[in-house]
Amino acid sequence: MNTIQSILKTARKTIDLERDAIANLSHLLTNDFANAVSLIYNSKGRVIITGIGKSAIIANKIVATLNSTGTPSVFMHAADAIHGDLGLILDDDVVICISKSGNTPEIKVLVPFIKNAKNKLIAITGNEKSFLAQQADFILNAYVEQEACPNNLAPTTSTTAQLVLGDALAVCLLELRGFSSKDFAKYHPGGALGKRLYLRVSDLSSVNEKPRVELNTSAKNVIIEISEKMLGVTAVVDNNKIAGIVTDGDLRRMLTKSDAFIHLTAKDIMSSNPKRIDENAMAVDAKELMEKYGISQLLVEKDGEYAGVIHIHDLIKEGLI
């Protein structure tokens, strides 16, 4: 077997092992999972998530997911906890402890302090008979038959299982809270993801030039308006209502049809009933319209009157395309 085939075989085996382990998690769910979700949902405090080693990395990811979906969460490293960070835990906080074996020395030291403080403890562990599981109020079973590592040592399948249970918690809580796309946008204002949820057409069109001509504007002045405003287009208006549009393409077509265009007006060369969008529409809606009709600009309206232009370059600049 050549090297490429060998690599692909190992990769597929890894993926298949982890896929089967994840599929088995649904069979391991008990009422403890539902009760853990209810506990967190009804808690007046935060969720403190702790772990050691690779489980600590997974804990960090689950914290990030919970925070971004409306459940305030804090990461606490199990080793640091027993050297001063226990002060992070407040009276109403719920603690989630992640450990494959549930018997690591740090966990055995940490758990009694959590219990003494009367905080509720949720265990995510692959060993229901472990010290952690026996001390926990609720157990989320993350058992996996074997790691993807050929030596069955490096945390691979087990950390994937932990992460999936964390995602399941987050999604259940999200649904209980009625967490909407608007809520999501509040927590994700940066980047293309957030912009898809909050950026409106007016946010982009308001900073652009507003090229406009009247129906009887000469072809020469139409060309001047398009050139000066540098958007490759101008609106043709009648009492500030959009009557048509003239694009660079319309000008090229005009020149191919006639050598003498001085006598022509905007009305003669415009395209009637151009695609348009309200300024309060989401910018992502403008993107979809442009893609649907294969155009680079949209005229913008406010209360039925011409209000400007949004260009495909505006969407590219904001990372929406």
Q: Binding site residues, as ranges?
A: 77
Please enumerate, by residue number, every residue annotated as part of a binding site for Zn(2+).
77
User: Nearest 5°: phi and psi at 297?
Assistant: -140, 155
Question: CA–CA distance from 139 to each of 30, 46, 113, 127, 180 (Å)?
Answer: 9, 19, 18, 10, 29
Round to whole Å and give the CA distance between 227 and 209: 11
What residue type is 217 in one-letter code? Answer: T
DSSP alpha helix (H) spans, 190-319: 191-198, 201-205, 219-229, 248-257, 266-269, 283-293, 312-317
Question: CA–CA distance from 32 to each of 37, 38, 169, 231 (Å)?
Answer: 9, 10, 12, 60
Helix pair 248-257, 219-229: axis angle to 10 deg? 150
Read off the tokens for 271.
């395209």
CB atoms near residue 274 (< 10 Å): 19
Round to whole Å and give the CA distance between 71 and 49: 12
| % helix, strand, coil for the chain, step of 5 | 50, 20, 30
Q: Whole-angstrom distance between the N-terminal and C-terminal Cα of the chain? A: 43
Round to whole Å and give the CA distance between 217 and 95: 71
- 164-195 core/surface letters (b: 16 or more CB in 10 A; e: else): bbbebbbebbbeeeebeeeebbeebeeeeebb
